[in-house]
Chain A
Amino acid sequence: MHKYTTNSLEIKNAIQYCDFMKTYEEINNKIESGSAVVLTADEVIDYVDKKGLDEAANEIDVVTTATFGPMCSSGCFLNFGHSKPKMRMTEVWLDDVMAYAGIAAVDVYLGATQLRYNDPANMNYPGDFLFGGGHVIEKLVAGKEVQLFALSYGTDEYPLKELRTYITIDDLNQAIMTNPRNCYQNYNVAINCSEKPIYTYLGKLKPNMKNLTYCSAGQLSPLLNDPYYKTIGVGSSVWLAGAHGHVYSEGTQHASACERTENGVPSEGAGTLALTGNMKEMDPEFVRGVSFKGYGASLALGVGIPIPILNKEILKYCTVKNSEIYASVIDYSSTYPAREGDIVCKLSYEQLRSEEVEINGKKVKSTSLSSYSKALKIAELLKDEIKKGDFALSKPYKMLPVNQGMQPLNIKKQGGAK
């Protein structure tokens, strides 16, 4: 028997539950034969309560988790094919939204938060940001026509210097959604302690803490059901807006070394996932351009992630309830912009969902930016696909870092970076 020098909860849990019960292969075989037992992360709570952990862990093969909300670090690689004569596109706009063309001749990356050419932004504060990269991505997925305008300096083998045409997603050779940061494990709750309204990526916040906004699917959210990334890792299959995609890397700003409650659940952002999937397979209901007054444009996405119930420990994590998940309330008028660490308080998702919470004796209206209703729908859709044998799980080939911090950016004088 090994001797553990650390007494972290994670290791204690590992000893308690080390009896492995199922493998990915066994679960996939059951899925293929159409006999897998699948529950959503919402249903599993009562189910385990009723049956007990042991019996439930034997029965259940997969728990489906999901989330739907704005995910700014999203975008897509597009390949247009070659015009006649050929062109090495150096500047590209889709419906007047600039795409990054600093890659091969007719490849671009279109980012979700890129604004349309000539958008007045916050010149008329608060700006409306009615159309950006996320809206172009929504149009493409919905099969709508988009204008492509491209410029080039011209070369011997790519002589064309200017092109304007109209395309749909069917005209593209590839449209691969590639999102460096999705599915934040948990997220800040934003409040405004100042005396004037502020406009943020979490919506309009009224002065003097009149309202707050949270943004998580809580007990249904993927990484809150797998707090130590025991099944969700690099290579895991995910349902990305209807496409069968996968996790291609840890997400940017993945910061797993964070404050956690006793059940292992982080009370701050913590883990993130980098996701990719074929945009041609996506369902437009779950790919939606969004505009935040005074802040900018973005993309709201629906993601579903299946969790294989390999053992009791993994199932135990999936039974986490809104009342056991806490998020930090942060003042977006002062501490957030100044990058200071203070928090106003911590609230559970059960409290946040009750529409009105009390902070320092003051009644505060609470609303969400993440759609629980859409997340539930996704968890059900994914459940049905798995039950029908249409969606297989994949074993990650690399686990996500469990103890990784995040560095700030320090502003230095030249030569100061060594």
Chain B
Amino acid sequence: MSNTISKKVLLSFSGIASDKPIVSELIRKYNLEINIYRAKIGNNEEGHMAIGVTGDEKLVNESLKYLKSSNVEVKETETGLIWDEEKCASCGNCLTHCPTKALHITDSHSRRVEFDGSKCIECLSCIRNCPFGACKSFF
């Protein structure tokens, strides 16, 4: 029985690996749906890509193994947007600018702000709107 899952992963690779058509491999070989949130690939430099993968659980896991064997660093729990909890003052200024409520208030009394990476679409508008420098991009 197949079990469909979705995962956000952050891929980092050196210039050599960026020659490989890894995204089309993921689609063709593993029958995955790929959502590219953000990518930065330079000439002979390191590249990064924040993607969402959806597909059969077994195939998703195999595809990640394939990526690792192709010299791609795979971070399964991280987003390309880094929210620094220590630096966040919970001012709330980013809240109107975050389209997905990835940044949100935890409870209406304490009004503490938290970040839910699974909702982040990497639009980076919080970086531009955080006065405290709590939001940064991994790449």
Question: With A and B bound together, what is the CA distance between A365 and B112 in angstroms?
Answer: 18
Question: With A and B bound together, what is the CA distance between A53 and B133 in angstroms?
Answer: 44
Binary A-proximity of B105-123 (CB < 8 A = 1, otherwise 0): 1001011110000000000
Among A367-418, those with CB < 8 Å from B are: 367-374, 376
Q: Are the CB atoms of A374 and B89 closer together than 8 Å?
A: yes
Cβ-Cβ contact count across A and B, 8 Å cutoff? 66
Name the B residues within 8 Å of A246 (CB-CB).
none
Q: Are the CB atoms of A367 and B96 closer together than 8 Å?
A: yes
Whether a CB of chain A sits under 8 angstroms from the CB of B95 is yes
Which of B89, B93, B110, B112 touches A367 (beta carbons < 8 Å)?
A: B93
Among B85-133, those with CB < 8 Å from A are: 89-97, 105, 108, 110-113, 128-129, 131-133
Given contacts A293-B128, A300-B89, A369-B91, contact A211 B113 (CB under 8 A): no
What secondary structure prevails in chain B residues at the interface with A? loop
| Nearest CB in chain A to that of B104: its residue | A355
Question: With A and B bound together, what is the CA distance between A372 and B110 in angstroms?
Answer: 7
Q: Are the CB atoms of B96 and A369 closer together than 8 Å?
A: no
User: Contact size class for A?
Assistant: 20 to 34
Nearest-neighbour CB distance to chain A for B134, whole angstroms, equals: 10
Which of B97, B105, B110, B111 touches A204 (beta carbons < 8 Å)?
A: B97
Name the B residues within 8 Å of A289 (CB-CB).
133
Q: Are the CB atoms of A69 and B91 closer together than 8 Å?
A: yes
| Nearest CB in chain A to that of B107: its residue | A373
Question: With A and B bound together, what is the CA distance between A123 and B132 in angstroms?
Answer: 22
Whether a CB of chain B sits under 8 angstroms from the CB of A68 is yes
Q: Are the CB atoms of B92 and A371 closer together than 8 Å?
A: yes
Nearest-neighbour CB distance to chain B for A2, whole angstroms, equals: 45
Among A51-80, those with CB < 8 Å from B are: 68-70
Whether a CB of chain B sits under 8 angstroms from the CB of A292 is yes
Which of B89, B97, B108, B131 touches A291 (beta carbons < 8 Å)?
A: B131
| Nearest CB in chain A to that of B97: its residue | A204
Q: Are the CB atoms of B97 and A374 closer together than 8 Å?
A: no
Whether a CB of chain B sits under 8 angstroms from the CB of A308 is no
Question: With A and B bound together, what is the CA distance between A372 and B105 in angstroms?
Answer: 11
Q: Are the CB atoms of A300 and B97 closer together than 8 Å?
A: no
Question: With A and B bound together, what is the CA distance between A368 and B112 in angstroms?
Answer: 12
Q: Are the CB atoms of B132 and A368 closer together than 8 Å?
A: no
Given contacts A70-B131, A203-B131, A300-B131, contact A371 B89 (CB under 8 A): yes
Question: With A and B bound together, what is the CA distance between A206 and B95 in angstroms?
Answer: 13
Q: Are the CB atoms of A288 and B96 closer together than 8 Å?
A: no
Given contacts A68-B89, A368-B91, A373-B110, contact A292 B96 (CB under 8 A): no
Whether a CB of chain B sits under 8 angstroms from the CB of A213 is yes
Name the B residues within 8 Å of A290 (CB-CB).
131-132
User: Contact size class for B?
Assistant: 20 to 34
Among B15-67, those with CB < 8 Å from A are: none
Name the A residues within 8 Å of B90 (CB-CB).
371-374
Q: Are the CB atoms of A373 and B111 closer together than 8 Å?
A: yes
Name the A residues within 8 Å of B105 (CB-CB).
355
Q: Are the CB atoms of A288 and B89 closer together than 8 Å?
A: yes
Binary B-proximity of A12-24 (CB < 8 A = 1, otherwise 0): 0000000000000
Name the A residues within 8 Å of B132 (CB-CB).
288, 290, 300
Question: With A and B bound together, what is the CA distance between A206 and B129 in angstroms?
Answer: 12
Nearest-neighbour CB distance to chain A for B67, whole angstroms, equals: 35
Name the A residues within 8 Å of B96 (CB-CB).
206, 211, 365-367
Nearest-neighbour CB distance to chain B for A39, whole angstroms, equals: 16
Name the A residues within 8 Å of B108 (CB-CB).
353
Q: Are the CB atoms of A293 and B91 closer together than 8 Å?
A: no
Q: Are the CB atoms of A376 and B110 closer together than 8 Å?
A: yes
Name the A residues within 8 Å of B94 (CB-CB).
367
Given contacts A365-B96, A376-B110, contact A371 B129 (CB under 8 A): no
Name the A residues within 8 Å of B97 (CB-CB).
204
Question: With A and B bound together, what is the CA distance between A68 and B131 in angstroms?
Answer: 13
Nearest-neighbour CB distance to chain B for A393, whole angstroms, equals: 27
Name the B residues within 8 Å of A298 (CB-CB).
131
Q: Are the CB atoms of B112 and A355 closer together than 8 Å?
A: no
Question: With A and B bound together, what is the CA distance between A372 and B93 in angstroms?
Answer: 12
Nearest-neighbour CB distance to chain A for B61, whole angstroms, equals: 39
Binary B-proximity of A233-260 (CB < 8 A = 1, otherwise 0): 0000000000000000000000000000
Q: List chain A positions with a Cβ less than 8 A from chain B.
A: 68-70, 130, 203-204, 206, 211, 213, 288-293, 298, 300, 353, 355, 365-374, 376
Write 13 A-B pairs (CB below 8 A) sorted by A numbering: A206-B96, A291-B131, A291-B133, A300-B89, A367-B93, A367-B94, A368-B91, A371-B90, A371-B91, A371-B92, A372-B111, A373-B113, A374-B90
Q: List chain B positions with a Cβ less than 8 A from chain A.
A: 89-97, 105, 108, 110-113, 128-129, 131-133
